[in-house]
Amino acid sequence: MEPGVIPISDGQLALSVILVLVTGGVSAALQLGLLRSLVVGTVRTFVQLMMIGTVLAFIFQVNEPWLVGLVVLGMTAVATQAATRRVGGAPYPRLLAFLALFASSVLVGLVVVGLIIRPEPWYTARVAIPIFGMILGNAMNGVALVLQTLYSSARARLDEIEELLAFGATPWEAIRDSVREALRTGMTPTINAMMVVGLVSLPGMMTGQILGGVDPRDAVRYQIVVMLMIAAAVALACLILVLAVYRRLFTRDGALVPELQRSKPGTP
C-alpha cells in the first residue's frame, strides 16, 4: 500500500453510524436516558464537522493573515463561552477569561509557529489554525477547572477567609490556599497526560500523521512539541486568569463580595 491518506467515501462514513447504534443500544437497554442526547450529538457532529471542513478548505485557499486572526478570535470566543457557562452564582468577569485564553494562545502559538515549525509564510493557515485550535481546546478545559475550583474552594473556606481578613490579612493572603488548589486542579490533567503519552494512548495529532503516511519518528517530534505547547498554554492561561479573577472576590475595602456571602450555607 502506498503511503498517504486513505480516503473515506460517503458510504464508508455512513457505516460509522454503526458505532453509535451500539452505544444507543446500551443506553436504551439500561434506560440511561441518554439516547436523545446521543442522537442529537451524532447529528451535530456530522453537521458541524462537515461545515467546518468546507470553511477550512476556503480559509486554507485564501491564506490571509487577517482571516487567520479572525478565526482565532472566533475560536477564543467559543472557548470562553464553553469554559464559563457552568460557573454560576459567582462574580465572574467573562472578559478576563477571554483575555487569558487569547493571551496565552497567542504567546505560545507564535512561539510554536514562528520559531519551531516555521512554515512559509509564517501565518500559513493550514499550520496556524490547527495549532491554535489544540492550544485553545486544552487551555479552555484548564480554565474551566480553575474557575470551578477557585469558587468552590472559596465558598468552602468562607469562615477561614473571613477570619484571616478580620486579623488583618490582605485579600491575597486570605485566598492564597484556594488559588493554589485551583491552579493544581487546572494543570493536573495536562501533567497526567504528559506522564502516559505514548504508553497508554497515541495522541490524536500523532495518530493522524501516522495514518497520513508520515514516518512515526517525525510524527513523534511533532507530538512532543504539541504536548509541551499545551502544557505551557494551560499553565499561562490558568495563571493569568486566576491572578486576575481572585481580586474580584473582594470589594474595594477588602471584604468578601456579597455573592459569596450569600452562597454561605445557612445564609439567606
CA 98 to chain CA mean position, Å: 12
Separation between Cα atoms, residue 13 and residue 20, nearest integer Å: 12
The phi, psi pair for 214, rounded to 5°, reads -75, 145
pLDDT tens readout for residues 209-248: 777 778 888 888 988 999 999 999 999 999 999 988 888 8
Domain boundaries, the chain: 1-62, 63-262
68-82, 96-110, 204-218, 223-237: least confident range: 204-218
Residues in Cβ contact with 122 at an 8 Å cutoff, skipping those fewer than 6 apart: 113, 114
Is the pLDDT score of 260 beyond 80?
A: no
Separation between Cα atoms, residue 75 and residue 71, nearest integer Å: 6
- Could you tell me which residues are beta bridge partners of residue 256? 250
pLDDT band at 165 (very low <50, low <70, confident <90, very high): confident
Separation between Cα atoms, residue 85 and residue 10, nearest integer Å: 36
pTM over 0.85: no
Query: 3-state SS of the chain?
Result: CCCCCCCCCHHHHHHCHHHHHHHHHHHHHCCCCCHHHHHHHHHHHHHHHHHHHHHHHHHHHHCCHHHHHHHHHHHHHHHHHHHHCCCCCCCCCHHHHHHHHHHHHHHHHHHHHHHHHCCCCCCCHHHHHHHHHHHHHHHHHHHHHHHHHHHHHHHHCHHHHHHHHHCCCCHHHHHHHHHHHHHHHHHHHHHHHHHHECCCECCHHHHHHHHCCCCHHHHHHHHHHHHHHHHHHHHHHHHHHHHHHHHHHECCCCCECHHHHHCCCCCC
pLDDT tens readout for residues 38-52: 888 889 988 989 998
- What does the mean pLDDT of the chain come to? 85
The phi, psi pair for 201, rounded to 5°, reads -145, 155
**What does R_g of the chain's alpha carbons equal in angstroms?**
22
> What residue type is assigned to position 75 of the chain?
M
